A = this chain, B = another copy of it.
């Protein structure tokens, strides 16, 4: 495996042997250099980055963690940025441009030639999380009437610029996508073959405004490597490659995991502590409010607790299991939604299943708790109440853990916003009300 010796690089940096280090870095794979930067203490990042030639820098930048890249971009002058952008693929260049301050973006754009500037301005206008925001405009597009040799000549002229040419796109006179030509097919065809005879017309493409989650689902479903992007008139605009889809999948999985616990997507392992504090406080404040709400429900029964303090001791049992059950259901349902498994025709089946599972588990755990209370020689009424509270709690867990994300999804709101805090609030309130309410009725 290709791997850079971390200690050796730190040594060269500390000894300020920059010429030697630059020569060494030139020989490495850009992904390894990016990984090195991600691991190095932040004070070395800029020093090391300035040693890279524009081509290496262009390949390294997109692989550096967001927070580190931002720092590097902020300290790189426009002239070098232009040189770096010239070496980038269009999709990466646009991502970088969108991370610069508006002033710097304008500086860089005005230093580019007219064609590039128009192209980038157009690309910057697409939402970042849409097909247009993901695509690159480096494609090879040919007309149906061309011969095999003419297509090969076309590929030859663009070979340096377009990476991973596995397919050539076929367009008509209005630039509309009409077919796809696999390069292996082209290789094996006779010299005299015409594009129209060789191309595959069963097309799968994405509209430029398609949300990136849907784009990922196309790759997932049809096992694609590259997907053409078209406008509303089916005119070919660009292509999305699978390596970008892998990045989007990582992003989406992080987003889903984060939303469930109320984290902001930009709050990552290496975000500065002060920024993490700021990003987490609003959610913790919301959580404080839900906790106060739960506490006020318990407060209704303060008199009962005052007379029977064992109830307070048992409260964590009521709360713990309901919250966990609800979060389990929530996780199953939101994962199903994220993977596109839940559709119009099967959602209700999934919801009733979760409610059933919650209820059955509640009955089993409730019985277990009742028996345990009996063995420990608790007041049998107490065991009964605790058992019933469990059933109640875990039934609510199945109900709200499945229904809330499904309802949010149908309202086109991110289902992960249901989140464990909201679900736990509902199971806690239901569980405590049931437990303390029954205790007030039966024991007082």
Q: Which of A's residues lie within 8 Å of B, judged by CB?
A: 1-2, 6, 29, 31, 35, 38-40, 63, 65, 152, 155-156, 159, 164-166, 183-184, 186-188, 202, 204, 219-225, 242-243, 245-246, 249-250, 253-254, 256-258, 260-263, 267-271, 273, 276-277, 280-281, 283-285, 287-288, 290-292, 294-295, 298-299, 302-303, 305-306, 309-317, 319-321, 323-325, 327-328, 331-333, 335-336, 339, 341-343, 345-346, 349-350, 353, 356-357, 360-361, 364-365, 368-369, 420-421, 424, 428, 432
Contact = CB atoms under 8 A, between A and B. Distances in A.
Minimum-distance CB pairs A-B, first 8: A312-B312, A269-B336, A291-B320, A306-B309, A223-B243, A253-B253, A294-B316, A291-B317
Identify the interface centre among A254, A291, A365: most chain B CB within 10 Å of its CB. Answer: A291
Contacts of A306: 306, 309
B29 A222 contact: yes
B184 A288 contact: no
Contacts of A219: 243, 246
A295 B324 contact: no
B324 A284 contact: yes
A313 B327 contact: no
Contacts of A39: 343, 345-346
Nearest to A216: B246
A339 to B, nearest CB: 6
B316 A31 contact: no
A221 B32 CA distance: 8
A305 B291 CA distance: 19
Contacts of A223: 31, 243, 246
Contacts of A288: 317, 320-321, 365, 368-369
Most buried by B among A305, A311, A336: A305
20 contacts: A2-B204, A29-B202, A65-B341, A155-B184, A183-B183, A219-B243, A242-B242, A246-B249, A254-B339, A258-B335, A263-B328, A269-B332, A280-B357, A284-B321, A285-B368, A287-B320, A288-B321, A295-B313, A302-B313, A316-B428
Contacts of A260: 257, 331
A389 to B, nearest CB: 12
Contacts of A202: 29
B262 A328 contact: yes
A171 B243 CA distance: 27
Given A294-B316, A317-B295, A320-B290, A284 B187 contact: no
A357 B356 CA distance: 40
A146 B331 CA distance: 54
Nearest to A286: B324
Contacts of A424: 320
A223 to B, nearest CB: 4
Q: Is the interface of A mostly helix, strand, loop or mixed?
A: helix
A305 B256 CA distance: 40
Contacts of A324: 261-262, 283-284, 287, 420-421
A316 B291 contact: yes
B328 A312 contact: no
Contacts of A243: 219, 223-225
Contacts of A261: 324, 327-328, 331
Contact of A269 (B305, B342, B356, B368): B342
A65 B342 CA distance: 12
Contacts of A220: 246, 250
Nearest to A6: B345
A402 B332 CA distance: 25
A202 B257 CA distance: 37
Contact of A331 (B224, B263, B325): B263
Contacts of A343: 39
A316 B322 CA distance: 14
A357 B277 contact: yes
B188 A155 contact: yes
Contact of A316 (B269, B295, B335): B295
* Interface-centre pick from A156, A324, A356, A432 (highest chain B CB count, 10 A): A324
A361 B281 contact: yes
A273 B339 CA distance: 20
